[in-house]
């Protein structure tokens, strides 16, 4: 059996490992457009910040491909899939045949479509190479502009601040991390950022960049101008599916069933490129996050190797430490206020500096947000993932001493 994996990220790696565990003799080929060992994308911001060297990024050892009996085809992009002929065309080498194919091609940053967005020193922070280029631009940079109040924007702003740059952050919504947290928590985070010297502007966006070759300023939606010599765009990602043939059903991502198989038998998808059911929202959604990519890769790999296992669905979640504020969000934290089946519980403890919010739908937990005291957050994740009917009064979840012992029957 010949397995072909498009993508050298964590989904592809976990899939390859799962295949190898179940089938020692299977042929496995991995195509990756970055010519490097699989590495931790979420950690590249730490290289920007300067706390880690690039050598710390790989998540597998140098002998990974050889030990696992994987044929790596690196530094090359897949350009087309021939569904009938069961082969993938790759730039600069002969087509590769497969019996089972995994699309784990990940996602690319959403491009900014404004005047001047092609100028030098406007970066998208997605790969090792992006950060390398940012580092090269740092010595001549003074004032940085970060677009987007999401995770990438945050990490970029934090890293640049630590590098001694003056950083302005522009957020389209009226509080940061609007996709992850609610207004109250957003306010707490905003306050923290401002107190640490970050210039945050909400409900504003960029209309154009100017500069001679290199960016030197921006015109904002309120008509004002802002000087800047380095820009980081963090406007989210889109599945990287340029090679996908028309026969494979897709929405935003490639549609997969509970075995992570696409509409074409023998072709699977996992990670940022795959779209499955979101457990909290109970509808199709792309959750482009590391832990889901790892989990999906593993399940897809097992199915490819012939073990029929199911994947119940994905769940959005994130944890970040913003200075001394720990923020964890899981599932749906901003439910539709009109939805009558939803119950929201929250507790803000200004003395302990904690904030907890839980969203329940039909007595099943579907969202949790914690600020500080996040150590037991995984417990809530598993309650949401397993759609557990709570064996106790949900108010008890808000207590600071809540522990798994309270869930015993």
Partner 1 sequence: MKQVVVHPERCLGCMQCMAACAVAHSRSGQLYTALAERPLPRPRIHVGAGLYQEGFPNRCRHCDPAPCMLACLAGAIWREQETSTVFIDPDKCINCASCAMACPYGVIRFHQDPMAPPGKTVAVKCDNCDQRRARGLVPACVEVCKSGALTYEEMDEAMRRKTAAVARSVSAGAETSGIPAAIDLLMTVKKARLSL
Residues lying near partner 1 in the complex (CB under 8 A) are found at: 14, 40, 42-43, 46, 52, 56, 58-60, 290-291, 294-295, 298, 317, 319, 321, 326, 328, 330, 374-379, 381-382, 392, 401, 403-406, 408
Q: Kindly state the smallest distance separating residue 41's Cβ from partner 1, in Å.
A: 9
- Smallest CA-to-CA distance from 20 within 70, 71, 78, 57 is with 70
Residue number, 25 or 403, with CB nearest to partner 1: 403
Residue number, 121 or 373, with CB nearest to partner 1: 373
Q: Kindly state the smallest distance separating residue 392's Cβ from partner 1, in Å.
A: 7
Q: Kindly state the smallest distance separating residue 342's Cβ from partner 1, in Å.
A: 23
DSSP 147-212: E-SSHHHHHHHHHHHHTT-EEEEE-SSSSTTTTTS-HHHHHHHHHHHHHTT-EEE-S--EEEEE-S
d(CA 185, CA 354): 10
Q: Kindly state the smallest distance separating residue 57's Cβ from partner 1, in Å.
A: 9
Which residues lie below 8 Å from residue 175, measured CB to CB, with a gap of 6+?
149, 181, 183, 186, 187, 189, 190, 202
Token code pair at residue 149 = 């109040």
d(CA 117, CA 341): 44
Contact of 15 with 298, CB cutoff 8 Å: yes
Which residues lie below 8 Å from residue 15, measured CB to CB, with a gap of 6+?
5, 102, 104, 268, 270, 297, 298, 300, 301, 304
Residue number, 141 or 188, with CB nearest to partner 1: 188
Token code pair at residue 195 = 């107190």
Residue number, 59 or 226, with CB nearest to partner 1: 59
Residue number, 143 or 155, with CB nearest to partner 1: 155
Cα separation values, 198 from 110, 142, 161, 232, 390, Å: 24, 14, 8, 15, 41
Residue number, 4 or 102, with CB nearest to partner 1: 102
Q: Kindly state the smallest distance separating residue 388's Cβ from partner 1, in Å.
A: 11
d(CA 40, CA 289): 12
Local structure of 102: helix, strand or coil: strand
Residue number, 216 or 382, with CB nearest to partner 1: 382
Q: Kindly state the smallest distance separating residue 74's Cβ from partner 1, in Å.
A: 19
Residue number, 222 or 363, with CB nearest to partner 1: 363
Contact of 305 with 23, CB cutoff 8 Å: yes
d(CA 190, CA 390): 33
Residue number, 313 or 377, with CB nearest to partner 1: 377
Q: Kindly state the smallest distance separating residue 23's Cβ from partner 1, in Å.
A: 18
Q: Kindly state the smallest distance separating residue 377's Cβ from partner 1, in Å.
A: 5
d(CA 317, CA 340): 24
Q: Kindly state the smallest distance separating residue 60's Cβ from partner 1, in Å.
A: 7
Q: Kindly state the smallest distance separating residue 234's Cβ from partner 1, in Å.
A: 18
Residue number, 56 or 196, with CB nearest to partner 1: 56
d(CA 287, CA 225): 35
- The residue whose two tokens read 């101008």 is 225
- The residue whose two tokens read 């030197």 is 216
């Amino acid at each position: 059996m010949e397995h072909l994996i498009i993508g050298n990220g964590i989904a592809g790696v976990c899939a390859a490992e799962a295949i190898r565990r179940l089938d020692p003799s299977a042929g496995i080929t991995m195509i990756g457009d970055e010519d490097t060992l699989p590495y931790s994308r979420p950690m590249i911001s730490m290289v920007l910040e300067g706390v880690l060297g690039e050598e710390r990024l790989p998540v597998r050892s140098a002998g990974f491909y050889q030990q696992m009996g994987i044929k790596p085809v690196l530094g090359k992009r897949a350009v087309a899939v021939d569904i009938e002929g069961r082969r993938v065309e790759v730039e600069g080498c002969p087509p590769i045949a497969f019996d089972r194919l995994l699309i784990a091609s990940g996602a690319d940053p959403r491009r900014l479509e404004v005047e001047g967005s092609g100028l030098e020193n406007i970066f998208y922070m997605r790969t090792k190479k992006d950060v390398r280029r940012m580092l090269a631009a740092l010595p001549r940079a003074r004032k940085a502009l970060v677009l987007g109040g999401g995770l990438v924007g945050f990490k970029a702003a934090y890293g640049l601040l630590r590098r001694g740059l003056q950083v302005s952050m522009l957020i389209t919504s009226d509080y940061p991390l609007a996709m992850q947290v609610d207004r109250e928590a957003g306010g707490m985070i905003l306050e923290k950022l401002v107190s640490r010297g970050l210039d945050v502007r909400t409900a504003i966006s960029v209309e154009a960049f100017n500069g001679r070759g290199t960016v030197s300023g921006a015109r904002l939606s309120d008509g004002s101008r802002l000087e800047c010599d380095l820009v980081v765009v963090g406007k989210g990602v889109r599945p990287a599916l340029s090679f996908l043939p028309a026969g494979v059903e897709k929405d935003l991502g490639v549609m997969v069933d509970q075995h992570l198989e696409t509409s074409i038998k023998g072709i699977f998808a996992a990670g940022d490129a795959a779209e499955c059911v979101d457990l909290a929202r109970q509808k199709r959604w792309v959750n482009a996050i590391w832990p889901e990519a790892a989990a999906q890769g593993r399940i897809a790999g097992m199915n490819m190797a012939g073990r029929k296992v199911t994947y119940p669905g994905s769940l959005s979640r994130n944890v970040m430490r913003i200075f001394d504020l720990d923020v964890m969000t899981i599932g749906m934290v901003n439910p539709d206020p009109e939805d009558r089946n939803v119950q929201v519980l929250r507790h803000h403890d200004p003395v302990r500096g904690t904030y907890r919010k839980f969203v329940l739908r039909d007595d099943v937990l579907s969202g949790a947000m914690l600020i500080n005291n996040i150590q037991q957050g995984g417990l809530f994740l598993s309650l949401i993932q397993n759609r557990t009917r709570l064996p106790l009064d949900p108010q008890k979840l808000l207590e600071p001493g809540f522990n798994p012992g309270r869930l015993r029957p």
